[in-house]
């Protein structure tokens, strides 16, 4: 603090002291409340814009017939969650349960993902849950027999996912599984050569957003012993956005 500023503050304090004040007559609590209200109003406005943008995107997708996946699907699985979430989870494709309900990650793998999110919420100290994050997939229709989505199918859906990410504007993305990571990281070469085991555990980027590749929750139905690896990835994500982890 400069000498002139110190002298000005001292003069001001002495002035008010002469009038019987033992402290500056400032209603700091009211100013704090006003700032808090302005922040809440701004966040609410942003949330509204995002929800409108996502609704418009969903309407644009419509009853999509842009690729062969439309022929056997029951429902388009657009995505769901908190539009203001700092974390976005992106999987590969809807499965049978997701196709029936029109929601991402609601089957057995979804239960594992929900458990992971809840554990992250507890570790962060904020106790956030599934409804507080945003969840989507690389493609929005179930591939027949739960096969991997093919490159032309992913290319058709990618512009919609790209705009979802732009609207949500998360601080970090968790890419769930080999296909999700391969797509978001724009890996060169055949997907058959890409290993999620080698890619996981460190950050990459998707359009300037940090991306943590990790195992797809369905992987743990067969390999539960490896859950600790994804938990380590999740802790790194929490630390990346300034939470405890």
The set of residues, in sequence order, having a beta carbon less than 8 Å from that of 195 and lying 6+ positions away, is 178
What does the pLDDT read at residue 44?
Answer: 84
Residue 2: inside a domain, yes or no?
no
Stretch (H or E) spanning 211: strand 209-214
Residue 197: inside a domain, yes or no?
yes
CA distance 23 to 15: 11
- Domain housing 179: 28-240
Whole-angstrom CA distances from 243 to 32, 66, 86, 108, 124 are 24, 40, 11, 28, 5
Q: Give the tens place of pLDDT for each residue, 117-130.
A: 999 999 999 999 99
What does the pLDDT read at residue 15?
Answer: 58
Residue 179: inside a domain, yes or no?
yes
Residue 11: inside a domain, yes or no?
no
From its phi and psi, is residue 62 left (phi > 0), alpha (psi between -120 and 50) or beta?
left
Ranges of residues in the chain with a pLDDT under 70 are 1-32, 36, 38-39, 245
**Which CATH number fits the domain that encloses residue 224?**
3.40.470.10
Structurally, the chain folds into a number of domains equal to: 1
């Amino acid at each position: 603090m400069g000498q002139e500023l110190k002298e000005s503050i001292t003069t001001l304090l002495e002035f008010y002291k002469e009038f019987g004040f033992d402290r500056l007559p400032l209603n700091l609590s009211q100013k704090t409340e006003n700032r808090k209200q302005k922040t809440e109003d701004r966040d609410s406005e942003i949330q509204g814009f995002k929800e409108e943008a996502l609704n418009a995107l969903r309407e644009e997708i419509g009853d999509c017939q842009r690729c062969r996946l439309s022929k056997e699907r029951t429902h388009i699985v657009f995505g769901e969650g908190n539009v203001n979430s700092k974390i976005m989870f992106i999987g590969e494709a809807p499965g049978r349960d997701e196709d029936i309900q029109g929601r991402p990650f609601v089957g057995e793998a979804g239960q594992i993902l929900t458990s992971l999110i809840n554990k992250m919420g507890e570790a962060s100290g904020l106790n956030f849950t599934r409804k507080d994050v945003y969840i989507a997939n690389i493609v929005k229709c179930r591939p027949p027999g739960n096969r991997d989505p093919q490159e032309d199918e992913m290319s058709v859906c990618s512009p919609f996912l790209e705009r979802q990410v732009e609207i949500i504007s998360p601080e970090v993305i968790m890419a769930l599984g080999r296909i999700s990571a391969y797509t978001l990281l724009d890996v060169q070469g055949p997907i058959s050569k890409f290993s999620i085991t080698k890619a996981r555990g460190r950050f990459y980027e998707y359009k300037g957003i940090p991306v943590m590749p990790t195992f797809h929750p369905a992987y743990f139905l067969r390999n539960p012993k490896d859950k600790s690896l994804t938990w380590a990835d999740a802790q790194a994500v929490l630390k990346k956005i300034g939470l405890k982890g």
